[in-house]
Amino acid sequence: MSASVSSRFARSVSILLSAGVLALPLGAQALVLLGGKDIPRAVSFGGPCVGCDLSGRALVGAHFLGADFSGSALIGADLRQVRLLGADFSGSDLSRSDLSDAEITGADFDGARMKDIRLDGARIRGASFAGADFEGASLRGVVFYGVDLGGVRNLRQEQLDAACAVGSVRLPRGMVLRACPRD
């Protein structure tokens, strides 16, 4: 390993340790050590954290770039203003989490439990929600761009009435989603 690569690695580990977060590869999974409940805004996550328990954690403003949180528990997590780019939350439990004002692009929420989740003001592009449970989800001000909601469970028309779409959005039979007003 070159000196510059070694130096960058040491600096990255130091930053993660000082933030109270360290992800160590463990086979196909990662072990996440979290010192406190609050995680700084500048944190970016990428790589595996399959089956992690981040319930109740404050991850406000974090960036999840291609991160694999499949099967993880994020119950009641504070994920306001997060950026999810190609992140995998399939089979995860995000019940009662707050993703208000999130930027979600190409993320996978297939089979996720999203009961009572708050997505208010989120912008969701090309994300996958097949089999996700939207019971009680708050969608006020959500803008959907090219999203397939056709396989979402427990989605009600009243929830969609608070959101809007840009472009084509696939919906469960009998439901409608208004077009967003043009700027």
The pTM of this model reads: 0.75
> What are the phi and psi torsion angles at 142 (to 5°)?
-70, 135
pLDDT (0 to 100) of residue 73 = 98
For residue 8, is pLDDT > 80?
A: no
Dump pLDDT digits (tens) for 146-165.
999 999 999 999 999 999 99
CA–CA separation, 68 and 58 (whole Å)? 18
On whether residue 18 sits in a domain, the answer given is no
On whether residue 155 sits in a domain, the answer given is yes
Q: Are residues 60 and 40 in contact, defined by beta-carbon separation less than 8 angstroms?
A: no
On whether residue 13 sits in a domain, the answer given is no
On whether residue 139 sits in a domain, the answer given is yes
> By residue range, what is the domain housing residue 155?
24-183
On whether residue 53 sits in a domain, the answer given is yes
Element at 11 (helix H, strand E):
helix 3-18
pLDDT (0 to 100) of residue 93 = 98
Dump pLDDT digits (tens) for 106-143.
999 999 999 999 999 999 999 999 999 999 999 999 99
On whether residue 122 sits in a domain, the answer given is yes
On whether residue 93 sits in a domain, the answer given is yes
Count each helix (H run) and each strand (E run) in the chain, helices first.
2, 9
pLDDT (0 to 100) of residue 182 = 83
For residue 21, is pLDDT > 80?
A: no
On whether residue 172 sits in a domain, the answer given is yes
Q: Could you give the percent of the chain with pLDDT greater than 90?
A: 71
CA–CA separation, 92 and 115 (whole Å)? 11
Q: Output the domain CATH number for residue 143.
A: 2.160.20.80
Number of domains in the chain: 1
